[in-house]
């Protein structure tokens, strides 16, 4: 296993408590029961195990269903559009004071970009028939 936290949990070295003590047995059971069928699926295991609903889906129905649960909770995992929305939202919430001052000062290029974003969001909402 390449992921350090999973490897440490598997080997029983995880002291953080982020995974249950029986992780090694659970992992073997998931593989034996064919809930995990490809080594590449282990990459997403930390996100699945961090989500109780996804963990239940993995243990009962398998990896594909667990992934569906994650995507339902976070559409940005599947959609480039919603990844961009999520990223833009995070950046806007953490806007540096200098950019805010530039907007207050009327920086024309920054105002144009902000207005274009607003219009694109409004147009998308209109096309989707949703009210924001």
Q: What confidence score (pLDDT) does residue 105 get?
A: 97
Q: What confidence score (pLDDT) does residue 28 get?
A: 84
pLDDT, tens digit, 9 for 90 and up, residues 97-113: 999 999 999 999 999 99
Nearest to 26 by CA among 45, 3, 2, 5: 45
Provide CB contacts within 8 A for 131, sequence distance 6+.
Answer: 125
Q: Is the per-residue pLDDT at 3 higher than 50?
A: yes
The CA distances from residue 11 to 1, 24, 111, in Å, are 10, 7, 54
Provide CB contacts within 8 A for 99, sequence distance 6+.
Answer: 110
Q: What is the pTM of this model?
A: 0.69
Written as six digits, the tokens of 62 are 């398998």
pLDDT, tens digit, 9 for 90 and up, residues 16-53: 545 455 777 888 889 999 999 998 998 888 899 889 99
Provide CB contacts within 8 A for 37, sequence distance 6+.
Answer: 62, 63
């Amino acid at each position: 296993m390449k992921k350090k936290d999973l490897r440490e949990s598997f080997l029983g070295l995880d002291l953080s408590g982020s995974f249950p003590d029986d992780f090694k047995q659970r992992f073997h059971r998931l593989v034996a029961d064919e809930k995990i069928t490809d080594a590449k699926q282990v990459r997403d295991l930390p996100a699945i195990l961090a989500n109780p609903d996804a963990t239940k889906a993995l243990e009962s129905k398998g990896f594909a269903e667990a992934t569906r649960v994650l995507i339902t909770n976070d559409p940005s995992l599947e959609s480039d559009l919603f990844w961009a929305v999520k990223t833009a939202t995070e950046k806007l919430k953490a806007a540096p004071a200098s950019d805010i001052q530039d907007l207050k000062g009327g920086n024309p290029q920054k105002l144009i970009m902000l207005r274009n974003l607003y219009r694109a969001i409004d147009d998308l909402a209109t096309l989707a028939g949703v009210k924001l």
